[in-house]
Amino acid sequence: MNLRGKLALVTGGSDGIGREIALQLQAAGADVIVTGRSAEKLQAMAALGFATIAGDLSVPAGVDKVVSGVANRPLALLVNNAGVGSEYELDRPDTLESAAHCIRTNLDAPIALCTRLLPVLRAQPEAVIVNVTSGLAIAPRAGGSIYCATKAGLRSYTQAIRYLLKDSNVRVIEALPPVVETNMTAGRAGKKMSAHDCAAEIVRGIRTGKSEVNAGMVKILQLVHSISPALARRIMIRF
């Protein structure tokens, strides 16, 4: 896709990987709308020339606000990047709401946005959906079971709609980051990819027509997983 002049929507675009994706799309000539929950961070993005939509994607009203915010506009690129972690613990029923919040944000919202914005995307000469999953969709960690489950679910959904849209003008990309240096991973030790470098690989994949972007160490993880799923899980536990 030639990004110049294209209208893009990046959810979770005021921080982390999403912010870097938005900045790099803008640098490539795209008009970019970002969503987020923090008024302060959205104001900072607006000061950089981005259109912004404030909304919590874990609730239907937040999804409605995003959909209405791009209504009647020539949206050509949807990047479902927004995501949250979960404090769920298997033996603690009081953490089920945290699990539900994670599922609504990471899985339900991207499905809703793909479905509700598809008519707009189909109306363009060419369009792209990017669903940001994770290397954890391939090799989950026990300590993040709900987060991993949402990313695995989004991975499966992405593969399915890619097939459903294979004869259309809408290309579907799955982006699989490794552990990336963001606020979400601030408490984790070990090797991390920079958000800038991760976003660069994703944007390159959009421009060059990839259907799957395995960023950083996920390239190796995919290869290892094809040989030994157990070894791939041990790699993710380490990193």
Just list the catalytic residues: 147
Residue 80 β-bridge partners: 131
Nearest of 233, 232, 235, 134 to residue 178 by alpha carbon: 134
- Residue 179 has a CB neighbour count (10 Å cut-off) of 23
User: Among 53, 13, 7, 44, which residue's Cα sits nearest to residue 29?
Assistant: 7
**Using alpha carbons only, how large is the chain's radius of gyration in Å?**
17
**Length of the chain, please?**
239
Check: CB of residue 18 under 8 Å from CB of residue 82. Answer: yes
Tokens 């593969």 sit at which residue?
Answer: 159
- Which tokens is 217 given? 């160490």
Select from 124, 27, 121 the least CA-distant residue to 78.
121
Q: List the beta strands (DSSP E) in the chain.
A: 7-10, 31-36, 51-54, 75-80, 127-132, 170-176, 180-181, 193-194, 212-214
Of 134, 116, 115, nearest in space to 16 by CA: 134
Residue 208: DSSP 8-state: H
* Alpha-helical regions (H) of 104-215: 109-122, 145-164, 195-208
